[in-house]
């Protein structure tokens, strides 16, 4: 298994390096990250649970490392995280079904050609 704490620390150090080289890019990401929270419609825990589900669907290890820590900091339990991950799993399965239909459609187009 991955050492998530060490990975997160190394990742954040490299992001710090990127911020020195391209501060506007990192500042822009921080602006985007904070923009959704400014509306105040979702609490921090819900925001982080959504971020974890998206991190799984986009396969972003860095996002997993950062947002797991943030979710726990906002009081998310292991069970709440598991439920959010269940949503990600279902969504990925649904996407596979949708794209499977596209394959069948592409096949049908070949039959008609």
Specify the pTM: 0.85
Tell me the mean pLDDT in the region 83-112: 95
Structure confidence at residue 44 (pLDDT): 95
DSSP per-residue codes, 43-64: -HHHHHHHHHHHHHHHT-HHHH
Query: Residue 14: pLDDT band by 50, 70, 90 thresholds?
Result: very high
The model's confidence at residue 1, banded by pLDDT at 50, 70 and 90, is: confident
Measured CA distances, 55 to 15, 31, 59, 62, 102 (Å): 17, 18, 6, 8, 25
Q: Count the neighbouring beta carbons within 10 Å of the beta carbon of residue 51.
A: 21
């Amino acid at each position: 298994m991955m050492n998530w704490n060490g990975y997160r620390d190394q990742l954040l150090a490299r992001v710090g390096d990127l911020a020195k080289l391209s501060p506007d890019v990192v500042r822009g990401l921080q602006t985007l990250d904070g923009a959704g929270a400014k509306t105040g419609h979702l609490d921090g825990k819900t925001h982080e649970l959504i971020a974890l589900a998206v991190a799984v669907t986009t396969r972003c290890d860095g996002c997993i490392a950062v947002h797991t820590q943030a979710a726990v900091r906002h009081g998310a339990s292991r069970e709440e995280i598991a439920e959010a991950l269940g949503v990600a799993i279902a969504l990925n399965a649904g996407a596979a079904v949708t794209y499977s239909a596209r394959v069948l459609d592409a096949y049908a187009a070949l039959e008609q050609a």
